[in-house]
Structures are given as structure tokens and as C-alpha cells.
């Protein structure tokens, strides 16, 4: 549902229409870039963390609770720090205290406890204690167990640099690529027949389909080495058929799936960035080491939000960043196998000075961090002043890449409003946008904002947005 403008009498004089999926393919580019409006500046310092930011690193609620219980000086035998690390020894149930250490340059944790959670409760407790009572920590030279860990981290980075210098068997690589190309083409041919059968038979019987109807085709795409298409089919099967208007949601996803599949057949006629977009949606990966060879964008990046999802034993982190100088948005993905630690730790509200390299795309959004230095300086940031500007950008983006993913926006001074039994975000011009998944975040938004207008970060696309963070008295809060 598009944003609505409410008159003083409560009537709805007009709605602002957004281009439909198929219209956006055919339409010419009607809107140009809009100069964003300045927002209030935020303040954050890399080790001046709030408890909320630290607790957001916890793998689960029980770890949060346990970490809070260890955030007391009496729990720690030693507590020290230097320019690159924090460490301490926590007395556990055994005879020897657990040795806990935190790399503060690129926040990472290590602990001698037997827990398989990352970070463990000791790492969370030590960082919470440091955030609360820095004066209870002693500046010192790192002991051997800390220095050795830091050295191994540095050595690992050097080995990764050496690995990329090894020669590649180009002939064998080309053969593997051709074999995969054939598998993908065969899989897509079956997928297109499956989609056309759905259209021929109509949508009436779709809600009655067994889960295997979608699962089998998803598995077929895995066999065809097209994991991106498999994921799109799983999402199609996850449609909530009990909600009003599910047919539009289902058809929107089905058409996107068909466009990606059909685009692969004509990929040689596309520009290089668009070819990369199609290949990415199919499930082809890109060499990150090769990307790191390219010159990236250096900026002070504000971490807007972290979205976490789990599939089998793999946790996916979607970290949304905003470049305060370039006014650019970025998505940094991280995949964590259960039982293994994360290589990258980004906390919402954190400012980092970093060089990001964007994946090739018509609309570059996904990026990797080439190098990172935690920044003490918080800079000004900018955003949009109303929903109409957001929709103009959305129409522009859809005309360039109709099967793109969602993205973040910073919206200036919006107010949570209850209308017709649902929650909306109303801008300064009285245009309103419905809140997606409203029960997840609306109450925290209301408690922090007090129902007043605030600067909000949303993630979404077209007419569906979910608030993920806001500024209150120049302080950023994660929702």
C-alpha cells in the first residue's frame, strides 16, 4: 500500500501510486537524484559502547543474561587493556580462571571456556564491564596468551594474502565454468515450465499445495547449481496464504523469479554490471580477493542495523551501513557456520573509518570491507525529508533493476500514527507509509520517541518498509 496523505478532516484526498513491477520494466526514467536534507549529527565512539550495542552481539537471550551477570569487577581476577586489546581472567567452576580477550581494532573475541557460542558470556561480560567501568582496567603490556592470539590473527591475514598469489589452472577453471553453465541452463528450462504451469492452472489451488511442491523445485535448482533461484523458490513457498491480498505478493515474487530465469538466456546482450546482477541472483559467486584488489570507497560509515537469519547450521548477518561523507548505503554480508566465530563484528550505532569495495551492479549495494579502522569522529549524515522522495528513488531503481533486493533509507522527522487499526509512519507533509512487521518494533519505537517526530532508518522496497533504528536527542537507538 502506497503512502497516503491525511487531510485535517481525516479524509484521504489522494494516494501516491508506485510503479508496478512490470510497468517499471517498460517505463523510462522519470525521476532524477534528489538532494537530501541534512539531519542532526550523531555521536559515537568505538569503545564508548552502550549496553544495547554490546548485547546486540550476543548469539541468544540466555547469553545476554549471563553476560550481564559477569559485568562486575568481583567476577574478574584480572582486567587489563592496551591500544589493541582488552583481556581478563574470570574465575569459573574450575581451578583455573577462564582467559578472555577482545581485539578492539576489529572487534573479535576469544575465550578458554568450553562454550561454543560466539561471543561467549565471558566475552560479553568483559566488554560490558569495560563499557561501564573503564577505570577498573589497568593499562599493561599484553601477556603471552593475548599476544600469541593477536599474532595468529595477523598471521592468518598474511596467509590469505599469499594464497591469492598462487597460479590458477585456467583451462580446468574454464571447463568447470562451462559444465556449470550447462547445468544452470537445464535447470532454468525446467523452472520456466514449472512457472508457466502455475500461471496456466491459476492461483486458486496454490494454498492447498503440499510443501513438497516448492521444496522439490528448490532442490532441483540446488542440483542445477543455481542456489539463488532455490532461495527465491523457498521464499515463494513461505508466502502467507492466510493474509488478504496474498495473490499480489505471490505473483510479484513469481514474476521476479521468471525475470531472473529468462534474463539468464539473454545475458550476453546486457551490460557488464547487469550481467553481474543476473549471475548473482542465479547464485554465481564473485572472488572477494579479486574485489579487494580494486580501489574502494573510503568513508566514515555508520552501522545502521544488523539483521540476522538462520538456515540449517549457517547464520547470515546483513549489516546495513551508511557513508556519512558520500551519502551512500552499503550492505555487508557475513555467513557464520555454527560453532565457528565471526570474522567481522559490526554493531549498530558504531562509526567506522573503512574502505569498502562494492560488487559490480547496476545499483551497487553489496560491499566488502577492504580495510577498517575504528573511528572516534562522528560526522554529520543526511537523509530524505518525505516519503514521496523515497518513492521517486524507488521508481528510478525499479526501472534499472526490477528484481533487486530491499535497501535502507534515512527518513527525516516521521511520526508513528495509528490509522484504521494499523501503524503508519507519517512524514512532515502528512504522507504515510504502513509499518511492515509492526508488532516486532513499533512498541520500542513508541517508547523511545514518545510518539513524537524522530529521524528513522527503514529497510524495505517499493511500498513495504520496516523501521530498524532511530535518533533521539542525537543518540542512535537500534529497534
Question: Given a cut of 50, is residue 37 above it in pLDDT?
Answer: no
Distance CA 202, CA 200 (A): 6
Chain centroid to CA 414: 23
Question: Given a cut of 90, is residue 42 above it in pLDDT?
Answer: no
Contacts for 449 with CB less than 8 Å, ≥ 6 apart? 415, 416, 470, 472
Question: Given a cut of 90, is residue 281 above it in pLDDT?
Answer: yes
pLDDT for 241-264, tens place per residue? 998 889 999 999 999 999 999 999
* Percent of the chain surpassing pLDDT 70: 84
**Residue 374, pLDDT score:** 59
Contacts for 340 with CB less than 8 Å, ≥ 6 apart? 118
Contact 393, 53 (CB under 8 A): no
**Residue 121, pLDDT score:** 93
9 band by pLDDT with thresholds 50, 70 and 90: very low
Distance CA 96, CA 78 (A): 13
Question: What's the sign of the alpha-carbon dihedral 341, 322, 280, 292?
Answer: negative
C-alpha cell at 299: 568513508
Higher pLDDT, 140 or 95: 140
Distance CA 305, CA 360 (A): 23
Question: Given a cut of 50, is residue 34 above it in pLDDT?
Answer: no
The structure's pTM equals: 0.69
Contacts for 204 with CB less than 8 Å, ≥ 6 apart? none
R_g of the chain, CA atoms, integer Å: 25
163 band by pLDDT with thresholds 50, 70 and 90: low
Contact 418, 448 (CB under 8 A): no
Q: First CA to last CA across the chain, in angstroms?
A: 23
Domain locations in the chain as residue ranges: 4-41+381-478, 51-163, 170-282, 288-374
Question: Given a cut of 50, is residue 38 above it in pLDDT?
Answer: no
**Residue 11, pLDDT score:** 35
**Residue 19, pLDDT score:** 34
Contact 407, 400 (CB under 8 A): no
**Residue 31, pLDDT score:** 25
Distance CA 377, CA 46 (A): 9
Higher pLDDT, 232 or 31: 232
Mean pLDDT for the chain? 83
Contact 459, 478 (CB under 8 A): no
Contact 435, 479 (CB under 8 A): no
Question: Given a cut of 90, is residue 122 above it in pLDDT?
Answer: yes
pLDDT for 327-356, tens place per residue? 999 999 988 765 555 667 788 888 888 999
Question: Given a cut of 60, is residue 7 above it in pLDDT?
Answer: no
Question: Given a cut of 90, is residue 216 above it in pLDDT?
Answer: yes
Distance CA 129, CA 100 (A): 13
Question: Given a cut of 70, is residue 35 above it in pLDDT?
Answer: no
| Cis ω for the linkage preceding 119 (within 30 of 0) | yes
pLDDT for 390-424, tens place per residue? 999 999 999 999 888 899 999 999 999 999 889 99
Query: Which DSSP symbol is given to 366?
Result: B
**Residue 55, pLDDT score:** 84
Q: Within 10 Å of residue 272's Cβ, how many Cβ atoms?
A: 9
Amino acid at each position: 500500500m502506497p503512502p497516503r496523505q491525511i487531510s485535517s478532516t481525516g479524509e484521504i484526498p489522494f494516494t501516491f501510486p508506485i510503479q508496478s513491477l512490470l510497468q517499471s520494466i517498460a517505463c523510462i526514467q522519470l525521476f532524477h537524484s534528489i538532494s537530501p536534507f541534512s539531519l542532526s549529527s550523531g555521536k559515537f565512539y568505538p569503545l564508548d559502547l552502550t549496553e544495547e550495542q554490546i548485547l546486540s552481539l550476543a548469539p541468544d537471550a540466555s547469553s545476554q543474561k549471563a553476560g550481564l551477570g559477569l559485568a562486575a569487577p568481583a567476577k574478574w581476577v584480572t582486567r587489563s587493556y592496551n591500544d589493541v586489546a582488552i583481556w581478563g581472567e574470570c574465575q569459573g567452576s574450575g581451578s583455573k580462571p577462564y582467559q578472555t580477550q577482545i581485539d578492539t581494532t576489529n572487534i573479535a573475541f576469544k575465550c578458554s571456556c568450553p562454550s561454543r557460542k560466539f561471543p561467549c558470556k565471558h566475552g560479553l561480560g568483559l566488554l560490558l564491564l569495560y563499557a561501564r567501568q573503564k577505570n577498573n582496567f589497568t593499562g599493561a603490556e599484553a601477556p603471552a596468551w593475548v599476544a600469541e592470539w593477536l599474532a595468529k590473527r595477523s598471521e592468518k591475514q598474511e596467509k590469505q594474502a599469499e594464497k591469492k598469489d598462487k597460479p590458477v589452472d585456467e583451462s580446468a577453471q574454464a571447463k568447470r565454468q562451462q559444465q556449470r553453465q550447462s547445468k544452470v541452463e537445464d535447470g532454468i528450462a525446467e523452472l520456466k515450465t514449472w512457472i508457466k504451469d502455475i500461471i496456466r492452472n491459476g492461483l486458486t489451488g496454490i494454498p492447498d499445495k503440499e510443501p513438497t511442491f516448492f521444496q522439490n523445485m528448490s532442490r532441483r535448482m540446488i542440483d542445477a547449481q543455481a542456489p539463488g533461484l532455490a532461495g527465491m523458490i523457498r521464499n515463494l513457498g513461505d508466502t502467507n496464504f492466510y493474509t488478504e491480498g496474498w495473490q499480489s505478493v505471490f505473483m510479484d515474487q513469481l514474476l521476479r523469479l521468471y525475470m531472473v530465469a529468462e534474463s539468464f538466456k539473454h545475458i550476453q546482450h546486457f551490460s557488464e554490471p547487469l550481467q553481474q546482477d543476473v549471475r548473482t541472483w542465479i547464485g554465481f559467486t564473485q572472488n572477494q580477493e579479486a574485489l579487494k584488489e580494486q580501489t574502494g570507497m573510503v568513508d566514515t560509515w555508520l552501522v545502521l542495523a544488523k539483521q540476522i537469519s538462520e538456515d540449517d547450521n549457517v547464520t547470515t548477518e546483513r549489516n546495513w551501513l551508511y557513508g556519512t561523507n558520500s551519502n551512500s548505503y552499503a550492505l555487508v554480508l557475513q555467513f557464520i557456520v555454527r560453532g565457528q566465530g565471526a570474522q567481522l563484528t559490526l554493531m549498530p550505532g558504531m562509526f567506522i573509518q573503512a574502505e569498502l569495495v562494492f560488487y559490480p551492479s547496476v545499483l551497487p549495494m553489496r560491499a566488502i570491507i577492504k580495510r577498517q579502522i575504528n573511528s572516534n569522529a562522528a560526522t554529520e549524515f543526511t537523509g530524505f525529508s518525505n516519503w514521496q522522495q523515497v518513492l521517486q528513488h524507488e521508481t528510478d531503481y525499479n526501472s534499472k533493476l526490477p528484481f533487486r533486493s530491499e535497501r535502507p533509507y534515512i527518513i527525516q522527522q516521521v511520526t508513528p500514527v495509528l490509522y484504521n487499526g494499523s501503524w503508519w509512519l507519517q512524514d512532515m507533509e502528512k504522507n504515510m507509509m504502513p509499518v511492515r512487521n509492526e508488532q516486532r518494533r513499533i512498541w520500542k519505537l513508541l517508547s523511545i520517541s514518545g510518539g513524537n517526530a524522530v529521524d528513522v532508518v527503514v529497510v524495505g522496497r517499493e511500498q513495504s518498509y520496516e523501521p530498524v533504528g532511530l535518533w533521539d536527542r542525537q543518540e542512535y537507538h537500534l529497534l
